[in-house]
Amino acid sequence: MTREYDRGAALYAAFLEGDASALEALVQLYGDALTRFAYCIVRDDAAAEDVTADTFAALIVRRKKFREEAKFRTYLYAVARNKAIDRWRRHGRQCSLTGLENVLVGENGEQGLFAAERSRVLYTGMQQLPAQYQEVLYLSYFDGFSVSEIGRVLKKSAKQVYNLLSRARSALKQILIKEGYSHEDL
Amino acid sequence: MKTSKQRTEEILRRAAAQEQAARVKNRRRAWILSVTAGFLLLVIALNLLLFIPYPSGLPDLSRFSGSEYFPLMQRLNELTYTPPAYKNNFEAWFSGLGNWGAESPSDGDASAESPSAEPEGEGGSAEGSGSVEVTDNQEAGVTEGDLFKRTQTHLFYLQGGAEGVTLSSFTLEKEESALCSSLEIIPAEETYFLGAHASEMYLSADGDTVTIFLPVYSYAHSSLFTAAVAVDVSDPAHMREAGRVYLSGSYVTSRMAGEEFLLVSNFAVRRDPDFSDEAQFLPQVGALDSLESLPMENIVWSEDANAARYTVLCRFGPDLTLRGCEAFLAFSEQVYVSQDNVFLTRGYTATAQPCGEGSYAAVRESRTEIACVSYAGGGLSYRGSADVAGSVLNQYSMDEAENTLRVVTTLARSEASAVEEDVVFSPSAAETNAALYVVRLSDFSLFASLENFAPAGEEVTSVRFEEDVAWVCTAVRIELTDPVFRIDLSDLSHITYTETGDIDGYSSSLIDFKDGTLLGVGYGEGGSFKAEIYEQGGQGVESVAVYERDADFSESYKAYLIDRENGFLGLHLYDWRQGGAGDVYVLLHFDGYALSPVLELAIGRGNPGFTRACIAEDWLYVVVQGEGILAAPLPGLG
């Protein structure tokens, strides 16, 4: 993870210095994950793609230079979350879950993170949860964010994140049990 | 799903669009900010323009603290300050009045009238080989100015208007009397004269110099002055101006005592004066282009002064050199000049009885402050002042005798409404009466008095002091009835009086006349002209003789020819009756029994107040304004 973060910041710095290929590398690195994260909020694949594209576009426009101790990925996901919430508010609070399959497949298709059945089941089950629970579960389990990183993205304290995680897990567990998964499966 | 490359292209496109949108947004934001800033600046500017308050409070005079006049300036500053009519431009522009800013200074509060009252004293006596006095002066030795003076051989007459004043000389040659020459007295540049009726002249004892006093307005100074003009009349056929000097203030009166002139003017300080310009707040004297302010030591004032107006009293030599000047912070209305002192009156109203003390409203009464300035022994010195109830009619209401000042006043009080029996008094009705006061000149305290001796509601119409006797006529003018009182002042601890009782008409002038009688000139029944002779009889004051005629006349005392020795009264009458004589000069004669016309001359249409006449070598000479001179022999009176 540390390597990925470093790589993200390095690629962004390279892009800011004029390396156009660094941007594509960044998109490849974070594109799918960012889209899935955005989907948790906007519940539509096309909208999630828009959010991802707007997020990266915002980085280009702002051209913010990061210090060494700054977290590029955290910043990226925070921007994406704001974009997703803005879009969700503008276009109505619909929970249609459109294009979930596309999001699950991602760019990398069968080789992606969600290739594993377990991951797909969890992610699909998560879509029945409130957006806040989805966000915190996704960031924690699928993108490996630490509690502090999740707190920075969601603008919450560590304690609040712990509480959210706990409630989110319980809620997801109930959903999965309802869908026929046993305690041993969970 | 899009590939990374597709996503990247989409991202770049969106970034470009966002940058473009940001640029547009920034430009729009800048435009909004500049418009808002401009609007705010405009609002601020408007607020500053409309709502910045005008300066209020007394102007700061600290920069004049080193001036000898500084204490006086401070008092004048308090008296003349006028706060702005509006608080700010907004009120001034939108209140609908639009009258903001300082008002133009006013200097016209003082009357420029010369006293037209009844003189006492010696009339018709020669004052030297040149001049022959024709003015009936109140005080012996104190000559009063007039439009008319004469020598043994010539008459001098003053007439004019705003364009100028004309001094004319006429020969005294009986039926061949004629105009000798005329001299136009022209106003100085940027000045104009304020009217002939306010002008007076004097003739020097040697008959060589005429000195004219007249009110002048100066545009350059925006102020009133009194001009003294000397004219060489040693050759009446070739008169020429010999000098001119100016004194601040409007002309009140003047006198000639010996060879010196006493000149009284009222000088009003303009509102909100510029204290860096002494002409705006100090009396000045001299040539118009080189006026000099009176020194502070010659200005008398007190913290109680409540009007920013001076009475200025100056002494001039026959050549118009200034020999002394005194000014005090009070304006003057009537002036009486005795042989040693000048008395100047100032009328005002005061609360006699506050509301609640026996009345529903405050009772106010008229009062008079009389200031005294000594001119005896050369120079001028302010002696003090007295305060008496009532108002003073004219100079003849005052008389100095044995170091006392005797003054007759009309009392007036405004009382609250009240119901007394069946009579209801209006709040504004004034109850009038008459009073006589005697004031010690040593300390200006009231020494003796006689109050309310007239019928209620009457006012003083004429007064004449004759040694220890005061003759007073009172009347309700519109009712045309009067009593004449003879007040005995021989014992001031017990003042007594007798009267005529009600007589039709009233006298506007009382004159001590032939053989100890009293001549009253005034109105008869119906407003006609009436001259009446009174004397003290066994039953009181009695009418001895009367002449009455339906005619208009002038109340100006100096328009009358008075010859006590021979019992003559002459004046200009306008007989307005249909078929009447029109303008005539009538000479009345009192033979001890009757007052009868002995001579009547038809004269041209003129103002009776400006007609003058004299008797010389048994001839009557009459000068009518604009008509020239007429002469007629006196009839033999056996």
Among B191-205, B431-445, B457-471, B609-623, where is mean pLDDT lowest? B191-205
What pLDDT digit, counting tens, does each position of B48-99 carry?
Answer: 999 998 887 888 899 999 999 998 899 889 888 888 888 899 988 888 754 4
Residue B115 confidence (pLDDT) above 50:
no
For residues A61 and B16, is the Cβ–Cβ distance under 8 A? no
For chain B, the straight-line distance linking the first and the last C-alpha, in angstroms and rounded, comes to 155
Average confidence (pLDDT) over A86-92:
84
| B1 contact residues in A (CB cutoff 8 A) | 32, 102, 105-107, 109
Kindly report the backbone phi and psi dihedral angles of residue B222, in degrees, each rounded to the nearest multiple of 5, phi listed first.
Answer: 50, 50
Contact list, B8 vs chain A (CB under 8 Å): 23-24, 27
Give the whole-angstrom CA distance, residue A144 versus residue A74: 11
Contact B8 A27 (CB under 8 A): yes
From chain B, pick out residues whose CB is under 8 angstroms from the CB of A106.
Answer: 1
The pLDDT confidence band at residue B198, using thresholds 50, 70 and 90, is: confident
Highest-pLDDT range among A71-80, B269-278, B390-399, B620-629: B390-399
Q: Is the pLDDT of residue B464 over 80?
A: yes
Q: Tell me what the mean pLDDT of segment B279-307 comes to.
A: 86
CB B316, CB B324: distance < 8 Å: no
CB pair distance less than 8 Å for B19 and A54:
no
pLDDT given for residue B82 in this prediction: 82
Q: What is the pLDDT of residue A141?
A: 85
Mean pLDDT within B624-632: 89
Query: What pLDDT shows up at residue B118?
Result: 31
- CA-based nearest residue in chain B for residue A53: B11
A4-25: per-residue pLDDT in tens? Answer: 446 888 888 889 888 989 999 9
Give the closest residue to B72 by CA, choosing from B294, B246, B225. Answer: B294
Is residue B418 pLDDT above 80, yes or no?
no
Check whether A1 has a pLDDT greater than 70.
no
B2-24 pLDDT per residue, tens: 788 888 999 999 999 989 998 99
Q: Residue B306: what pLDDT?
A: 72
Q: Which residues of A touch B (CB under 8 A)?
A: 23-24, 27-28, 31-32, 49, 52-54, 56-58, 60-61, 102, 105-107, 109
Mean pLDDT, range B31-48, rounded to an integer: 96
Q: Give the contacts of B421 (CB within 8 A, at least 6 positions apart).
A: none
Query: Which of B5, B7, B15 lies nearest to residue A60, judging by beta carbons?
Result: B15
pLDDT of residue B264: 92
Q: Does A61 contact B15 at a Cβ distance shorter than 8 Å?
A: yes
- pLDDT of B526 > 90? The answer is no
In chain A, residues with a C-beta closer than 8 Å to the C-beta of B22 are: 61
Asked if B10 lies within 8 A of A23 by C-beta distance, the reply is no
Q: Which residues in chain B have Cβ-Cβ distances shorter than 8 Å to A83?
A: none
Tokens representing B529?
């002209």
Helix, strand, or coil (residue B105): coil
Between chains, do A53 and B12 touch, taking CB under 8 Å as contact? no
CB contact under 8 A, B8 and A60: no
Residues of B in contact with A16 (CB under 8 A): none
pLDDT at A103: 65
Q: What is the pLDDT of residues B84-96, one digit of tens each?
A: 888 899 988 888 7
Q: What is the pLDDT of residue B381?
A: 86
Which tokens go with B456?
């209620």
Instruction: Compute the average pLDDT of residues A46-72.
Output: 82
Which positions in chain A touch B4 (Cβ < 8 Å)?
Answer: 24, 27-28, 31, 107
- The residue of chain B nearest to residue A56, with distances taken between CA atoms, is B11
Choosing among A19, A23, A114, which should be mutated to test the B contact, i.e. which has the most B CBs within 10 A? Answer: A23
Residue B408 has pLDDT above 60, yes or no: yes
A51 to chain B: closest CA residue: B11
Half-sphere exposure of B224 (CA within 13 A, CB side): 26
Q: Do B10 and A53 touch (CB under 8 A)?
A: yes
In chain B, the residue whose alpha carbon lies closest to the alpha carbon of A106 is: B1
Angstroms from A61 CA to nearest CA on chain B: 6
Chain A interface includes B9 (CB < 8 A): no
Please state the pTM of the whole predicted model. Answer: 0.67
pLDDT value of position B3: 81
Chain A closest-CA separation from residue B24 CA (Å) = 14
What pLDDT does residue B222 have?
87
Indicate if the pLDDT at residue A40 is higher than 80: yes
Question: What would the pLDDT profile of B201-243 be if each residue is shown by its tens digit?
Answer: 999 999 999 999 999 999 988 889 999 999 999 999 999 999 9
Chain B residue numbers with beta carbons less than 8 Å from the beta carbon of A58 are: 15, 18
Whether residues B12 and A27 touch (CB distance < 8 A) is answered with: no
| Cα A26 from chain centroid (whole Å) | 15
Place of tokens 């903001």: B100
Query: What pLDDT score does B429 carry?
Result: 47
User: Which two structure tokens, joined as six digits, stand for B107?
Assistant: 């200097």
Contact B18 A28 (CB under 8 A): no
**By CA distance, what is A63's nearest residue in B?**
B15
Q: Do B22 and A61 touch (CB under 8 A)?
A: yes
Task: Enumerate the residues of chain B whose CB falls inside 8 A of the CB of residue A109.
Answer: 1
Can you tell me the ipTM of this complex? 0.81
Q: Considering chain B, what percentage of its residues have pLDDT values greater than 90? A: 56
Strands B322-328 and B299-300: parallel
Hey, what are B385's tokens?
């002042």
pLDDT at A83 over 50: yes
Q: B21 touching A, CB under 8 A? A: no
**Rounded CA gap, B490 and B473, in Å?**
20
The predicted-structure confidence for B494-516, as pLDDT tens digits, reads as follows: 999 988 877 778 899 999 998 88
> Cβ separation of A61 and B12 shorter than 8 Å?
no
How many angstroms separate the Cα of B238 from the Cα of each of B168, B201, B486? Answer: 11, 18, 50
- Alpha-carbon span B525 to B553, nearest angstrom: 15
With beta carbons less than 8 A apart as the criterion, state whether A38 and A31 touch. Answer: no
The conformational region for residue B23 under phi > 0 = left, psi -120 to 50 = alpha, else beta, is alpha
* Angle (nearest 5°) at CA B455 between B450 and B461: 80
Q: DSSP secondary structure string, B595-610?
A: EEEEEEEE--S--GGG
Segment B245-264, tens digit of pLDDT: 999 999 999 999 988 999 99
Among B176-180, B195-199, B345-349, B490-494, the minimum mean pLDDT is found in B195-199
Residue of A23, A32, A105 with shortest CB distance to B8: A23
Show residues of chain A in contact with B14, CB under 8 Å. 53-54, 57
- B15 to chain A: which residues are within 8 Å by CB? 56-58, 60-61
pLDDT score recorded for residue B504: 78
Helices (H), chain A: 2-16, 20-42, 45-62, 72-90, 100-105, 117-126, 131-137, 147-154, 158-178
What mean pLDDT do residues A76-91 have? 90
CB-based contact B498:B540 (threshold 8 Å): yes
Q: How many CA atoms lie within 13 A of B458 on its CB side?
A: 27
- Tell me the C-alpha distance between B136 and B122, whole Å: 7
Asked whether the beta carbons of residue A57 and residue B18 sit closer than 8 angstroms, the reply is yes
Which of A27, A54, A57 lies nearest to residue B4, judging by beta carbons? Answer: A27
Pick the residue from chain A with its C-alpha nearest to B4.
Answer: A28
Q: What is the pLDDT of residues B542-587, one digit of tens each?
A: 899 999 999 999 999 999 999 999 999 999 999 888 788 889 999 9
Task: Using a CB–CB cutoff of 8 Å, tell me whether B10 touches chain A.
Answer: yes
Handedness of CA B545, B549, B555, B556 (dihedral sign): negative
Comparing B473 with B105, the larger pLDDT belongs to: B473
pLDDT at position B430 is: 58
In chain A, what residues touch B12 (CB-CB under 8 Å)? Answer: 23, 57, 60
- Percentage of chain B lying above the pLDDT 70 cut: 89
- What ranges make up the beta strands (E) of B375-478? 381-389, 398-401, 404-414, 418-420, 423-425, 430-440, 446-451, 459-466, 469-475
Check residues A46 and B163 and name the one with the higher pLDDT: A46
Q: CB distance B11–A28 less than 8 Å?
A: no
Most confident among A66-80, B186-200, B225-239 (mean pLDDT): B225-239
Mean predicted lDDT score pLDDT of chain B: 86
Task: Output DSSP code: residue B552.
Answer: B
Closest CA to A123 of A110, A135, A111: A135
| Statement: residue A45 has pLDDT above 90 | no
pLDDT at A96: 60
